Amino acid sequence: MTWRKILGIKALENSGNHVSINLGDGKVVFITKQNGKLYGINGICSHLKCILGNVSEDGKHVICPCHNAKFELDTGKMVEPPFIAPQTPMEKYTLETYNLREEGNFIEIEE
């Protein structure tokens, strides 16, 4: 396993503490820091591929801006379905999560 620098810590702070970035290899990662903990989750919504998103008030979820599906930052699990598809089998729509760390002035992802 290796670590790759993907974002400056200042850039995360300047973007309101959450941002989706394209890593250039087809992967988009939603990054946020909540209560001192960094979260990395697939930034492409598993419903209809909108780019995530906004952090919930409790700081534990990301909400898709398109149809409000809600995902746990820790596990990537969908915990609320899209409002246009309330019967969505949520267990099939879990998003991948990534290990992130701070190193110097940068955020790194484990690959």
Q: Total number of residues binding ligand FES (CB under 6 A)?
A: 9
Instruction: Name which of 9 and 77 has its Cβ closer to ligand FES.
Output: 77
**Look-up of token digits 């939603």:** 30
User: Residue 83: is it exposed, middle or buried by C-beta count within 10 angstroms (0-12/13-18/19+)?
Assistant: exposed
Site for ligand FES in 13-72 (CB under 6 A): 45, 47-48, 50, 64, 66-67, 69
Q: Using the 8-state DSSP alphabet, how is residue 11 labeled? A: H
User: Please, what is the minimum distance in Å from the beta carbon of residue 4 to ligand FES?
Assistant: 27
d(CA 70, CA 73): 9
Residues that bind ligand FES (CB under 6 A): 45, 47-48, 50, 64, 66-67, 69, 82
